Structure 1
Amino acid sequence: MNDDHTNVRDFFGARAARWDARFPDDGPAYEAAVAEMGLRPGDRVLDAGCGTGRALAPLRSAVTDTGVVLGADLAPAMLEAAVGARRDGAGRLLLADVTALPLRSASLDAVFAAGLVAHLPDPGGNLRELGRVVRPGGVLALFHPIGRSALAARQGRALTPEDLRAEHNLRPLLASSGWTMTSYADEESRFLALAVRTD
């Protein structure tokens, strides 16, 4: 495991036990984001970097019992917190690195990724890996329960034009990684970029 992965795992691992208590009101934002993905009963979806599993129940509701919901995270403590919150009943949890997924190519219909992009060591390559496991025409949702400005303020940093999630950066990054952005919302109360897997 390289230093980037170790740092991310350790950062989230140290915060896992208190994560849900720090952000107790995010549930409706997750539900609304999942609703915009257009998932159908029977779809196969991955929550990439699932953390404590807050998206698993909305994803399960969208794909119903006939679908498949997977949650993958690099931090064992986050997956333990998901089990502790009894969210593992909504999907199968995988201790896995989203930059090298243990999944077959084109085996999924969609990927949901909350707060993931900023933590990817090689955003272009890593988005290609997410694309590898999604069928052509499948959907990617890059989500955060607050917008870029609100997140920067929370973290005590300035919002810069180099921000990876800025539309002028994210759109070409997705395009070069096999995705076509179909919508982009950066509001105080949420960030959601949707993209479709191209051939």
Structure 2
Amino acid sequence: MTDDPAHAHHRAHVLDFFTPRAADWDSRFPDDGPAYAAAAGLLGLRPGDAVLDAGCGTGRALPALRAVVGPRGTVLGADLTPAMLEAAVRAGRDAGGTLLLRADVSRLPLREGALDAVFGAGLISHLARPGADLAELARVVRPGGMLALFHPIGRAALAARQGRVITDDDLRAEPRLRALLAGSGWRLDSYTDEDDRFLALAVRRP
């Protein structure tokens, strides 16, 4: 399958944005680790489960996900940007059998229903086609499995950091996100938007 021009342009934009930032990404956000660990712990994962960190970047969530599913579990990290995956390896986040994949979340090399959960940190704002891409994540998760859309700070704090104002058409605004998830195979189960955390948890519908 080949990309349509708009999708190809989006992929190029993502690579152009993240590649030069990969080397110092972790040092820019040194205090986020506990927030990632707390979010990973809310996915309802059990030892032996299979989980994907979609758009894993430098893999900051991967150790926390590995700790939850244990040595017999499956932890995958997928990202479009090779430099981000290389930074994850340098940080040792492929330890314990964690597998890193260069993959576009719009076309994951996974069978239907293969996973128990998907974790996505800062993911939704970088999706080319949010509805279709969330449906692809739903495809690879079993019915009843979980999706966590996470950011270590809330919408207002992130907007202030970026020098912008949040609006109702933000994909992460609760009514907009609830409808988007409902149209792509998910049911929004809980929604938290506080200064120190954004976390939307959704359940894969049958």
Task: State the distance in 1 between where 2:16 and 2:118 align.
Answer: 24
Does the 8 Å contact 1:10/1:75 carry over to 2? no
Does the 8 Å contact 1:112/1:142 carry over to 2? yes
Task: State the distance in 1 between where 2:12 and 2:70 align.
Answer: 35
Deviating runs (4+, > 6 A) in structure 1? none
> Which of 100, 103, 108 is the aligned partner of 2:110?
103
**Is the aligned partner of 1:145 residue 2:152?**
yes
- Per the alignment, in what secondary structure is the counterpart of residue 66 of structure 1? coil
What is the one-letter code of the residue matched to 2:34? P
Task: State the distance in 1 between where 2:142 and 2:44 align.
Answer: 15
Task: State the distance in 2 between where 1:160 and 1:14 align.
Answer: 29
**Is the aligned partner of 1:35 residue 2:35?**
no
Task: State the distance in 2 between where 1:134 and 1:183 align.
Answer: 18
Gaps spanning 5+ residues in structure 2: where?
none
Task: State the distance in 2 between where 1:147 and 1:71 align.
Answer: 23
TM-score when normalising by structure 1: 0.99
- Per the alignment, in what secondary structure is the counterpart of residue 181 of structure 1? strand
> Which of 137, 149, 163 is the aligned partner of 1:156?
163
Identity %: 67
What is the one-letter code of the residue matched to 2:106? T
Task: State the distance in 2 between where 1:121 and 1:157 align.
Answer: 21
Task: State the distance in 2 between where 1:14 and 1:130 align.
Answer: 27
Instruction: Tell me the residue number matched to 2:130.
Output: 123
**1:64-83 alignment to 2 at 5 Å?**
64-83=70-89
> C-alpha root-mean-square deviation of aligned residues, in Å?
0.7
**1:49-88 alignment to 2 at 5 Å?**
49-88=55-94
Task: State the distance in 1 between where 2:84 and 2:16 align.
Answer: 10
**Is the aligned partner of 1:25 residue 2:25?**
no
Gaps spanning 5+ residues in structure 1: where?
none
Instruction: Tell me the residue number matched to 1:193.
Output: 200
Does the 8 Å contact 1:45/1:70 carry over to 2? yes
Task: Compute the displacement of 1:10 (Å).
Answer: 1.7
- Per the alignment, in what secondary structure is the counterpart of residue 60 of structure 2? coil
Task: State the distance in 2 between where 1:109 and 1:154 align.
Answer: 34
Task: State the distance in 2 between where 1:143 and 1:99 align.
Answer: 18
TM-score when normalising by structure 2: 0.95
What is the one-letter code of the residue matched to 2:174? E
> Which of 5, 13, 34 is the aligned partner of 2:11?
5
Give the number of aligned pairs: 199
Q: Deviations over 1:6-33 (max 9, x none)?
A: 1012211110001000000000000000
Q: Deviations over 1:40-95 (max 9, x none)?
A: 00100000000000000000000001100000000000000001111111410001
Task: State the distance in 2 between where 1:175 and 1:9 align.
Answer: 29
